[in-house]
Structure 1
Amino acid sequence: MTEHIARCLHDSNDTIRTYIVGDHVFLRAHIGGDHGTVALEAVDARVFARGILALADKIDGGAAEETPAEKPIKVGDCIRVITTGSAGALVKAGETFTVRKVTDWDVQVDGDGAHDRWYLNHEDVEKVVDEATATLADSRPKVGDRLRVTEDNPRCCPVVTGDVITVVETDYDHDGEDCVRFLHGDDSYRWIIPLTAVEKAPTLADANTSPESYRASLLEQARKYVDPTATAAELLAVARFIAGESA
């Protein structure tokens, strides 16, 4: 959805946004915690726009350069909610999210756990232009991250719950879904798996992961590949044998 945004000279959070819905031009003002919307016929929108141009011309004679429209929101962008409860979602003005999907009707972001996603109205969000805030908002995996699979054979991938994969490529907004790619065994094919089927794999660097629990998770992984009934001692013996520590 194409839109134009005018930001207040004194407070950049105060805006007037213009966009099209059906056959009408909408102007939506957001001032502090208040907001309102005006719908105009095309002919009335032109009259209003020409009036603004006439006022501006009185100031500088029309010398000002045209300000390009802000780029439309896309997947991966950091957005800020400007209307509490947009489209019935349990969100508050000022909260920031990373965009997961964009349609003509809504902007989709991660939900709160009980809800997989929030579907927010375009006019109720704005792109965050502050790079520091935008970077913090996107916590999606990156190349080199280790992830643990949380379901069996997602998208027909040759992995099951508990397997650990390493991200070799990110493929966000793949058919409207955030995914990553990984290699399996000696296969050079880059399998694709959705983020909904993985979670961050525990490491000793994690503040809440003790060495004991980390070792336990590794043993569970080994048990699946060696023998589901193997004891911890048997698995350690196999590990030592593979490492060449015993014959």
Structure 2
Amino acid sequence: MTEHKLQCAVDPGDYLTAYADSGELGVGAYSKQRFAVTIYPAAEDARTFARALLTLADEIDGSEPTPAAATFPVKVGDKLRVTKAGLNWADVEVGEILNVLSLPADDDPSDIEFTAEGRNGDHWAFLPSHVGNGLEKVDEMPAATPAAAPSTPAIAPERVALLEKARILAGPIASPSDVLDFARFLAEGVA
């Protein structure tokens, strides 16, 4: 049996109880902590009464306070390392790095999941509570060690000038070998 209690703000000995038992809805009234009466409203009548009660409460205090905006431990673009394989039924492996793609919409309080992209472009949904419990933030991705650039010999400015002239003479549709042939021809004429 599920039961809810509504306490009187003026006299704590007065209260109402609402409960569901064996398919029946009951509302009991108590005065000075003594049972007074139980009524058994139809479910639809109880819903109408509850909505009306909420409307009256809103008129008194201006409605329920809106919950504070959820603060998420991550933001779009953050990198997360998986520390528990199969977290939230996702096909993720320990050590895998995920990229946070989206956060819940501010206008939908029931939406509490954020999405992250894993290997092969798969997208998975996680809860904020997973950060620190199956996911850990990666402050920075380790920088890849750049391969040593192959040393290229310096090209004399005269040769660059010859190649430029050859490219112009060979025309826009010339192949690289045609440009080099023109450059050799120009170089022989200069020498």
Considering the TM-score relative to the shorter chain, is it more than 0.5?
no
Higher share of residues assigned strand: 1
The TM-score, its normalising length taken from structure 1, stands at 0.25
Q: Which has the larger radius of gyration?
A: 2
